[in-house]
């Protein structure tokens, strides 16, 4: 960290915490180090999902994973994620024959169990999503 600080300044280091009691200590360390770059799990995961659901659908996002027939996942490893209930629902969906497609640079547990795994380069998810949107709009699917 010292080498990075020397070469790029303290802002060259980012401090991140999932949540809980250690977050405060980690942020104190970042302040002492001189880095303004801190974030938590909430700012990158549930907050975005909650805001998008409210703006796009008027409320909380209620997923019915157990009854899905086709799931496309971009880098979200449901088999090693936070919600144990989602894992059980995903297993139920797959037992019922749901098709799973994974776009992820990593061969995660979800990717290994998916019907299709597309190993994108990091950052390659946005071009794929834009291409999907292009097809859906031009073919009047949406």
Model pTM score: 0.63
What pLDDT was estimated at residue 24? 82
Q: How far is CA 93 from each of CA 60, 63, 71, 73, 130, rounded to the nearest angstrom?
A: 22, 12, 10, 14, 27
CA 83, chain centre distance (Å)? 13
Residue 13 and residue 5 in contact, taking contact as beta carbons nearer than 8 Å? yes
φ, ψ (nearest 5 deg) of residue 15:
-115, 125
Domains, the chain, ordered by start: 1-62 (no CATH), 65-138 (3.40.228.10)
What pLDDT was estimated at residue 44? 67
pLDDT tens series, the chain, 142 aa:
999 999 999 999 998 887 667 778 888 999 999 999 988 877 667 777 778 788 888 877 777 889 999 999 998 888 887 677 888 899 999 999 999 999 999 999 999 999 999 999 988 999 999 999 999 999 999 8
Q: State the Cα–Cα distance between residues 53 and 55, nearest whole angstrom.
A: 6
């Amino acid at each position: 960290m010292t080498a990075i600080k020397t070469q790029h300044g303290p802002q060259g280091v980012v401090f991140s915490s999932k949540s809980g009691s250690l977050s405060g200590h980690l942020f104190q360390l970042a302040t002492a180090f001189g880095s303004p770059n801190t974030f938590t799990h909430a700012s990158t995961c549930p907050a975005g999902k909650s805001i998008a659901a409210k703006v796009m659908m008027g409320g909380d996002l209620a997923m019915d994973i157990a009854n899905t027939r086709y799931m496309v996942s971009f880098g979200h490893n449901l088999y090693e994620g936070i919600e144990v209930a989602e894992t059980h629902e995903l297993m139920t969906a797959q037992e019922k024959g749901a098709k799973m497609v994974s776009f992820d640079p990593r061969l995660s547990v979800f990717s290994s169990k998916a019907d299709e795994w597309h190993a994108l380069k990091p950052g390659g998810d946005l071009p794929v999503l834009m291409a999907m949107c292009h097809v859906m709009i031009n073919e009047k699917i949406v």
